[in-house]
Chains A and B, each alone.
Chain A
């Protein structure tokens, strides 16, 4: 029962809004977490923890640092 890209994007938008206050509408696939959304490394850890709960996918630290954009995270969760 794989989630669609849209479903994952909506879930990520909710998580990122909860953690950073950034509007879920701003969270679009091409955005870079650091350059576009101004999210620091500790917030990325918070997002990864919340994503594990939401999507049931564990994101190891050595993978997390390679996830630069929202699209990267969506692809990781879908894979």
Chain B
């Protein structure tokens, strides 16, 4: 680590997921190997080939007051809930707003609002639309609302890179602090895309599991029987802070947000480049950015969405970048795939694995695919040994975006 560079630490965590309405309940469910996936009961389910998803365990309408909830898209509701938790978890400090930033994105944005507002507009006309329709559908809405909530004036940003969004947001947040633009940044991702059109569209791309008779068994990263990803929803948001700022206020530090690496495949709009170099290079760049060596990395939270091609390519990429010594988990086996929220919650799981020194097992990994030469956690959670530990969270997105974020113990 170069001496003149600001060290960035993680001082707050917040999440709402298919496994629980907060970080603690989600994390304990992961360690117990529980599934957040269930059969859907909406009317539109009859019209699509996929009939299950990871619905948020706690409906945001139960958490937010009605006047607030009705002005927010569901993705914004998740983001605001997770951001409030993260800020409380960080001690809700009194800080200079000009030194506080927000980076919270979504893969798709307010798609639920777009679709229902379009129906309302067609049926009843323009003047029946809520005056909040635009801020509900815009993908930067969550960042804007959180900045208002916290008085964050150092800049509110919304990175958009499909399923890499949450991880990219955290990387951008690290850079904001390192470059001197902020002392603290609230960063992560959110998504609320469980709607017939999205399910139909992903199914049209032949990307989703259709294991309708066993929804809890459908998300099975690295397993021979995997047949596609399982859609989830929710948000994961962290509080990033310069170490100096965190120490000065006596904050509890979970981990060091050591660096991020990015590549773009420039190959195919939805498929990973089969040589996996984009993922490999993203991890290597994250390590370089963090001044770490591959041998330092003891754990990887894989992107691993349970698609037939993607998981194998990523396994090779991890082997090429890190080697075969790191303990690899794939938490989408329990949460489903939160798209823009994935990098947020999975960064939190990576941070907690380091902080608690335990890695959740991959659910539904009954029969690992042939040719996978990395150390997958099966059966029971695995302990992490040692003092100075590093871990990586991978997030890859449609568009060819590859993001790896490196964390270390304090």
The chain A residues found within 8 Å of chain B, CB to CB, are: 18-21, 42, 45-46, 49, 52-53, 58
Q: Determine the chain A residues whose CB is within 8 A of the CB of B2 once the complex forms.
A: none
- Which residues of chain A are near B128, meaning CB under 8 Å? 49, 52-53
The CA-CA distance from A52 to B70 in the complex, in Å, is 18
Q: Which chain A residues border B93 with CB–CB below 8 Å?
A: none
- 6 closest cross-chain pairs (CB), A and B: A21-B67, A45-B131, A42-B131, A20-B67, A49-B128, A21-B65
Residues of chain B having any CB pair with chain A under 8 Å? 65-68, 70, 127-132
Measured in the bound complex, the distance between the Cα atoms of B66 and A54 in whole Å is 18
Q: How far is the CA of A49 from the CA of B128 in the complex (A)?
A: 6
Asked if B127 contacts A21 (CB within 8 A), the reply is no
- Asked if B67 and A18 make an inter-chain contact with CB atoms under 8 angstroms apart, the answer reads yes
The 6 sampled A-B contact pairs (Cβ below 8 Å) are: A20-B67, A42-B131, A46-B132, A49-B127, A49-B131, A52-B128
Residues of B within 8 A of A58 (CB): 127
**CA of A46 to CA of B341 in the docked complex: distance in angstroms?**
30
Report B-chain residues with C-beta under 8 Å of the C-beta of A42: 131-132
| Residues in chain B near residue A49, CB distance under 8 A | 127-131
Interface contacts beyond A49-B127, A49-B131: sample of 13 additional A-B pairs, CB < 8 Å, sorted by A: A18-B67, A18-B70, A20-B67, A21-B65, A21-B67, A42-B131, A45-B131, A46-B131, A49-B128, A49-B129, A49-B130, A52-B128, A58-B127
A58 to B126, CA, bound (A): 13
Residues of chain B within 8 A (CB-CB) of A53 are 128
- Contacting B130 at CB < 8 Å: which of A20, A46, A52? A46
Q: Which residues of A contact B132 (CB under 8 A)?
A: 42, 46
Closest residue of chain B to A49 (Cβ to Cβ) is B128
CB-defined contacts of B65 to chain A, threshold 8 Å: 21
CA distance A18 to B70 in the complex (A): 9
Task: Report A-chain residues with C-beta under 8 Å of the C-beta of B127.
Answer: 49, 52, 58
Q: Could you tell me the distance between the alpha carbons of A45 and B130 in the complex, rounded to whole angstroms?
A: 8
**In the assembly, what is the distance between CA of A46 and CA of B136, in Å?**
14
The chain A residue sitting closest to B135, CB to CB, is A42
Closest chain A CB from B259 CB (angstroms) = 42
Q: What's the minimum C-beta distance from A24 to chain B, rounded to whole angstroms?
A: 13
Chain A CB within 10 A, most for which of B66, B127, B128 = B127
Min CB distance B226 to A, Å, is 45
- A42–B127 CA distance with the chains assembled, in angstroms: 13
Name the distance in Å between A45's Cβ and chain B's nearest Cβ. 4
Residues of A with C-beta under 8 A to B129: 49
The residue from A18, A45, A46, A52 contacting B66, defined by CB atoms under 8 A apart = A18
- Closest CB in chain B relative to A3 CB, distance in Å: 21
B67 partner residues in chain A, CB cutoff 8 A = 18-21
Please, which residue of chain B has its CB at the minimum distance from the CB of A44? B131
Closest to B129 in A: A49
Measured in the bound complex, the distance between the Cα atoms of B130 and A52 in whole Å is 12
Residue of B nearest to A19 (CB): B67
Shortest distance in angstroms between A21's beta carbon and chain B's nearest beta carbon?
4
Residue contact A19 to B131, C-beta cutoff 8 Å:
no
Tell me the bound Cα distance from A19 to B253 in angstroms. 39
Closest residue to A48 on the B side, CB-wise?
A: B127
Cα distance, A20 to B67, chains bound together (Å): 5
Nearest CB of chain A from residue B1's CB, rounded to whole Å: 48
- A33 to B67 CA separation, bound complex (whole angstroms): 16
**Residue of A19, A20, A53 ringed by the most chain B CB atoms within 10 A:** A19
Residues of A within 8 A of B70 (CB): 18-19
Minimal beta-carbon separation of B149 from chain A (angstroms): 16
Which residue of chain B has the shortest Cβ distance to A22 in the bound complex? B67
Return chain B residues, CB-CB under 8 Å to A45. Answer: 131
Q: Could you tell me the distance in whole angstroms from the C-beta of A76 to the nearest C-beta in chain B?
A: 16
| Whole-angstrom distance between the Cβ of B67 and the nearest chain A Cβ | 4
Measured between alpha carbons, how far is A42 from B131 in the docked complex, in Å?
6
Question: Residue of A at shortest CB range from B66?
Answer: A18
